[in-house]
Homo-oligomer: A and B are copies of this chain.
Amino acid sequence: MEYRRIKDQDKNEASVDDIESSHMKAVPVLSLDDAGSLNTVATVGASSGDRSKWKRKSMVTLALTVLTSSQGILIVWSKRAGKYEYSVTTANFLVEALKCALSLAALMRIWRKDGVTDDNRLSTTYDEVSVYPIPAALYLVKNLLQYYIFAYVDAPGYQILKNFNIISTGVLYRIILKRRLSEIQWAAFILLCAGCTTAQLNPRSDHVLQTPVQGWLMAIVMALLSGFAGVYTEAIIKKRPSRNINVQNFWLYVFGMVFNAIAIVVQDFDEVVSKGFFHGYSLITVLMILNHALSGLAVSMVMKYADNIVKVYATSVAMLLTAIVSVFLFGFHLSLAFFLGSTVVSVSVYLHSVGKLQR
């Protein structure tokens, strides 16, 4: 299988300790083995390389958390401002295009500064680029499935079922990337899933238990697709540790644009032709597109300098932060379930960090 091939090449390359010619210079690259876990305790006597790796990992994780929480707040804001009237597929396309443009801009700065090298040149080989369409294709299939699952589950129920993503990411991370979590970290991961779901409970949540079996199966398939896309992206990005992240992003997002263009044609072609591409766009739509683009870049950075597990923790904590900020911004009331879920998620974060495997 394709992802196996990637993994095998990884192993060969992992021994080559090459230095990344990134715009963050003088920072040793993360090899596949040490992009470990949400370690919040600086190791005593660690080398300055370890410390700056840890700093970079913390920075990208923090950026992802902040961007994801503000994303949640923008969604709440837009819902309160009125219905979504723009086409979601065109907005998704613009998000990919913006990410592409931002990666290119970053690359141009690097070229001006460091010159074009093997690691930061945009041109690529078939061997390198052939795997890049896969995550975008997986997300496309997942997004198409999303339209069908609502025949079986309502939107709040789907929000709850989406927490399967946490488990599927953990399992696929273990199977595909062959990275190990300690038993306590696995326990923490189950708690993260239970805690996030608890925090989202509302008096109507029990409806989800009446979901027909097709709904459960689709939710599981979607969780696997989404988890697989995430883990596969990490495999692609980490496969060439020395390759500049902006080049890797550029190619990922080019295929993202292609697949989102397909989605526009499949789902919204008539509407876009009759009403125009930007129909219904408002200031808030623009802000959401900008935020999604920046969050997407932060996810890539987390994949490069940390891993999918860190990504899941960051986005889960962001979900809780969104709710807390919404109390102040929109006068939301927090439920008892939210407090209980947040407690469980906090303990999970703690356990993940103390449960680190001793290497």
B-binding residues in A (CB < 8 A): 160, 183-184, 187, 190-191, 194-195, 197-198, 201, 203, 205-206, 208-209, 335-337, 340-341, 343-344, 347, 350-351, 354
- Name the contact of A351 in the complex, choosing from B184, B198, B209, B343 (C-beta under 8 A): B184
**Do B351 and A194 have beta carbons less than 8 Å apart?**
no
Residue of B nearest to A195 (CB): B344
Q: Which residues of B contact A208 (CB under 8 A)?
A: 336
18 more A-B contacts (CB under 8 A) besides A184-B351, A194-B340, A197-B340? A184-B354, A187-B350, A190-B343, A190-B347, A191-B191, A191-B347, A194-B347, A195-B344, A198-B198, A201-B201, A203-B203, A205-B336, A206-B335, A206-B336, A208-B336, A209-B336, A337-B337, A351-B351
CB distance from A193 to the nearest CB of B (A): 8
Q: How many angstroms between the C-alpha atoms of A194 and B201 in the bound complex?
A: 14
**Least Cβ–Cβ distance between A143 and chain B, in angstroms:** 26
Across the interface, name the chain B residue whose C-beta is closest to A337.
B201
Task: Give the CA-CA distance A205 to B335 in the complex, in Å.
Answer: 9
Closest chain-B Cβ to A231's Cβ sits at a distance in Å of: 24
A85 and B190 alpha carbons, distance in the complex (Å): 45
What residues on B are CB-neighbors of A351 within 8 Å?
Answer: 184, 187, 351
Cβ distance A350 to chain B, nearest Cβ, rounded Å: 6
Bound complex: CA of A209 vs CA of B338, how far in Å? 12
- Closest-by-CB residue of B relative to A343 is B194
* Oligomeric state, in copies: 2
Distance A337 CA – B202 CA, assembled complex (angstroms): 10
Residues in B with CB closer than 8 Å to A198 are 198, 337, 340-341, 344
Q: Which residues of B contact A183 (CB under 8 A)?
A: 354
- Tell me, rounded to whole Å, the shortest Cβ–Cβ distance linking A45 to chain B: 22
- Least Cβ–Cβ distance between A356 and chain B, in angstroms: 13
Give bound CA distance, A316 to B231, whole Å.
38
Are B344's CB and A194's CB within 8 A?
A: yes
CB atoms of A201 and B160 under 8 A apart: no
In the bound complex, CA of A187 to CA of B187 (Å): 12
Q: In the assembly, what is the distance between CA of A341 and CA of B343, in Å?
A: 12
A245 and B354 CA atoms in complex are apart in Å by 40
The residues of B that contact A187 with a CB separation of less than 8 Å are 347, 350-351
User: Whole-angstrom distance from the CB of A82 to the nearest CB of chain B?
Assistant: 28
- 4 residue pairs, one from A and one from B, having the closest CB atoms: A203-B203, A194-B343, A198-B340, A194-B340
Q: Is the CB of A160 within 8 A of B197?
A: no
Give Cα A184–Cα B187 distance, bound, in whole angstroms: 11
- Inter-chain contacts of A195 with B (CB < 8 A): 344
Closest to A350 in B: B187
Point out which of A160, A203, A208, A340 has the most chain B C-beta atoms below 10 A from its C-beta: A340
**Complexed CA–CA distance, A95 and B350 (Å):** 44
Most chain B CB atoms below 10 A, which of A205, A208, A335, A344 = A344
Contacts of A343 in B (CB 8 A): 190, 194
13 CB < 8 A contacts A-B: A184-B184, A184-B354, A187-B350, A190-B343, A190-B347, A194-B343, A198-B337, A198-B341, A203-B203, A205-B336, A205-B337, A206-B336, A351-B351
